[in-house]
Amino acid sequence: MRYLPSLNPGYLTDLIDILAKIKAGPLFGPTLPPEAYTPINLSKENPELQGVELGDPKACQGYIDKVLNWNKATIAYGGYLEQRNLYSGNAAFETGEERRDVHLGVDYWTKAGTKVLTPLDGEIHSFKNNAVKGDYGPTIILKHTEDGFIFYSLYGHLSLESLTGLYVGKQFKKGEVLASLGTPEENVNYAPHLHFQLILNLHGKQGDYLGVCRKSEVQFYKNNCPDPNLLFSL
């Protein structure tokens, strides 16, 4: 078994090859057609976001609904390594001299209560309600083993109900319902969405891992959190 005690570039290259070959299942409704998904740009550079207070879940939802309606879609997705204004004004992101504003997962914006499916066979590594405003709210981390490689997937902004009945080591099969999306009250003040992140080394974390980093830290974190789009052919 190859395990990642610390970052190792060879391991990362091999794992990226494996991720690109894995046939992952969808994160949402197995019968949703590709047209149900539309990309969304929440970066600082998007001129449509001028004057939109993304940190306010209602304003953020207003923009998401616009994008969904324009594209006749039900799920708006994106955000890997996107630099965003979504977190400004939140103390948890403003510590130190450099704010954290680069997003390390992919977000899927859709209705609260939407079921989240397990994309790959895995087992519960850990779970926790990260209930501080601006954090993930209810969060699940799955551990996966593929071709002898171990890696993790993190699911944030879930419903509270998603954590009931879980235990460390509980097995989930690809395609099985893992969780459902939380409301802004449960997911600690965001428009409903799934934060999905791949992680190679959890650095000892349980039920939590950094999902937004400083720009100066991007190289380090992108090596530890490969692009989730590798798994999905959207």
For binding to Zn ion (CB under 5 A), which residues are involved?
105, 107, 195
Please report, for residues 12, 70, 91, the alpha-carbon distance to residue 234 in angstroms, rounded to integers and kept in the order given.
Answer: 22, 18, 34
**Is the CB of 105 or the CB of 192 nearer to Zn ion?**
105
Kindly tell me which of 149 and 190 has the beta carbon lying closer to Zn ion.
190
- Bridge-partner residues for 84, per DSSP? 43
Q: Which is nearer to Zn ion, 15 or 225 (CB)?
A: 225
**Least CB distance to Zn ion at residue 156 (A):** 7
CA angle (126, 90, 65) in 5-degree steps: 80
Q: Which residues pair with 213 in a beta bridge?
A: 102
In 3-state terms, what secondary structure has residue 31?
coil
Shortest Å distance, C-beta 157 to Zn ion? 7
User: Cβ of residue 228: shortest distance to Zn ion, in angstroms?
Assistant: 11
User: Taking CB positions, which residue lies at the least distance from Zn ion?
Assistant: 195
- Please say which residue, 195 or 214, places its beta carbon nearer to Zn ion: 195
**106, 80 in Cβ contact below 8 A?**
yes
CB of 105 to Zn ion, least distance (A): 5
- Classified as helix, coil or strand, 110 is coil
**Among residues 122 and 192, whose Cβ is nearest to Zn ion?**
192
Closest to 104 in 3D by CA, of 203, 223, 6, 192: 223
Element containing residue 27 per DSSP (H, E): none
Q: How far is the CB of 107 from Zn ion (least distance, A)?
A: 4
